[in-house]
């Protein structure tokens, strides 16, 4: 019934007047849900990859997350942008065959189900590899594909907690009365997605530059490990000194001054003047140059030791000036600083606007929507937001017809069987 996919890679979506991204020509199959794998593939799609996202007939759960406009998720517009949505019933053997046929025409498969779930569907690694020996397979899960916790359920917040981040995001004075503060976004998932994107590109490099040196590999990313890997000196400090890094609130424990200070108009200004040269410049600006030679503040270790008294001195100065004046004065003398931004500040910032980091996108489901720009930025081939998050199954017929070469009658038959929507 099903035709074999051809080698054509020209179907990359809506035409754009922006040079295609550096991953143009790369085709990725996403079997992801919620955040981690979809975030990984969104990053790759932003810089040119063609991503075919397989969704259940009910849709990815993120379609119903966050603020809604006319019943449509605003987050979805960004989360699934530049992807093709194919809606399949993976309980159907015909749908599994469709997945395998798509995999034959892809370079990469990215997924974030629990370990073993794809195998139970009939999509084990060896099955996928038999369909396409050159397929890079990226697994993202809570604890990885091996180990005693392999089968435990996990979301990003579990990675943040177990990887050590949630402990450090608490207020400086730990309190058993309130839980440690989280970051406000699913950062554990996004970190895992970033690492998966990095791992995918590493495997593709190996495949292209050392063919035959070893079999095409897999990528195995755990949410917990993605967070733990970012924790700077936390582990060596404990291993060598028995010291447990503690929450430090607005500060960092390794440098001072580096904190948020209240301005006269009630805004918070982050000031990072922690090198000796910057500290001297800062003290001259606030009219206290003698503090740069004071033994309590002359070196960074001394400033860290006496950070409470130092921050009181700094805030006594910041509290006399409005935030706009503070940022202007500090920037003029080269002190790293900023007002702490909310969404309104980000959307109106001239630097973000100049680099295309805040973009107005026309979404057929929502109208005009603000999107973040593309990171990393490749000036010569920057990629583009080719289209926002698609409607459920928007590209099912396109992918099955153009990529898999199925006839309208075959597609209609699959729809009648309940294998696709």
Would you call 189 a catalytic residue per the annotation?
Answer: yes
Retrieve residue 129's tokens.
Answer: 């590899």
Q: Are 283 and 292 in contact (CB under 8 A)?
A: yes
Distance of CA 53 to the CA centre of its chain: 17
Helical packing angle, 36-46 and 187-209, nearest 10°: 50
Spatial strand order of the sheet with 83-87 comes to 83-87, 50-55, 27-31, 108-111, 136-141, 218-222
Q: What is the C-alpha to C-alpha distance for residues 7 and 25, in angstroms, rounded to an integer?
A: 11
Buried b (16+ CB within 10 A) or exposed e, 144-174: beeeeeeeeebebbbbbbbbbbbbbbbeeee
Q: Quick one: the chain helix, strand, coil %, rounded to 5?
A: 40, 15, 45
Q: What is the C-alpha to C-alpha distance for residues 20 and 132, in angstroms, rounded to an integer?
A: 26
Q: Which residues pair with 28 in a beta bridge?
A: 51, 108
CA atoms within 13 A on the CB side of 415: 13
- For the chain, the residue count is 421
Where would I find the beta strands (DSSP E) of 290-355?
337-339
**Is it true that the peptide bond before 333 is cis, omega within 30 degrees of 0?**
no
Retrieve residue 304's tokens.
Answer: 């860290």
Nearest to 204 by CA among 100, 108, 103, 83: 108
Catalytic residue among 189, 311, 363, 384: 189
Tell me, letter by letter, the H, E, C secondary structure of 139-185: EEECCCCCCCCCCCCCCHHHHHHHCCHHHHCCCCCCCCCCCCCCCCC
Query: Between β-strands 50-55 and 83-87, what pairing exists: parallel, antiparallel or unpaired?
Result: parallel
Element at 370 (helix H, strand E): strand 367-372
Active site residues: 189
């Amino acid at each position: 019934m099903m035709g074999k996919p051809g080698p054509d890679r020209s179907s990359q979506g809506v035409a754009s007047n922006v040079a295609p991204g550096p991953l143009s020509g790369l085709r990725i199959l996403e079997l992801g849900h919620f955040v981690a794998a979809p975030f990984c593939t969104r990053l790759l799609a932003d810089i040119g990859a063609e991503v075919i996202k397989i969704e259940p007939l009910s849709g990815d759960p993120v379609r119903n997350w966050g603020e809604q406009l006319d019943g449509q998720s605003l987050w979805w517009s960004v989360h699934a942008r530049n992807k093709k949505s194919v809606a399949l019933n993976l309980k159907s053997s015909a749908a599994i065959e469709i997945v395998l046929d798509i995999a034959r025409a892809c370079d990469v498969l990215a997924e974030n189900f629990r370990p073993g779930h794809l195998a139970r569907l009939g999509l084990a690694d060896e099955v996928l590899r038999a369909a396409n020996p050159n397929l890079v397979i990226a697994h993202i899960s809570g604890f990885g594909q091996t180990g005693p916790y392999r089968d435990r359920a996990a979301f990003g917040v579990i990675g943040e907690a177990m990887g050590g981040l949630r402990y450090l995001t608490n207020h400086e004075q730990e309190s058993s009365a309130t839980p440690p503060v989280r970051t406000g976004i699913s950062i554990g998932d996004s970190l895992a997605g970033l690492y998966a994107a990095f791992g995918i590109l590493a495997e593709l490099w190996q495949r292209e530059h050392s063919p035959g040196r070893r079999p095409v590999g897999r990528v195995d990313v755990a949410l917990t490990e993605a967070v733990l890997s970012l924790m700077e000196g936390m582990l060596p400090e404990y291993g060598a000194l028995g010291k447990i890094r503690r929450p430090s609130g607005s500060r960092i424990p390794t440098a001072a001054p580096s904190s948020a200070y209240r301005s006269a108009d009630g805004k918070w200004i982050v000031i990072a003047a922690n090198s000796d040269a910057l500290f001297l410049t800062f003290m001259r600006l606030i009219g206290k140059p003698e503090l740069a030679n004071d033994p309590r503040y002359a070196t960074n270790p001394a400033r860290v030791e006496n950070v409470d008294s130092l921050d009181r001195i700094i805030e006594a100065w910041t509290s006399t000036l409005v935030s706009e004046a503070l940022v202007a004065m500090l920037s003029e003398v080269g002190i790293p600083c900023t007002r702490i931004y909310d969404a309104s500040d980000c959307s109106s910032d001239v630097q973000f606007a100049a680099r295309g980091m805040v973009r107005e996108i026309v979404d057929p489901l929502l109208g005009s929507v603000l999107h973040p720009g593309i990171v990393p930025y490749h000036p010569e081939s920057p990629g583009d937001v080719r289209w926002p998050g698609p409607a459920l199954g928007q590209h099912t017929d396109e992918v099955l017809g153009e990529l898999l070469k199925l006839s309208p009658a075959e597609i209609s038959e699959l729809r009648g069987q309940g294998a696709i929507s």
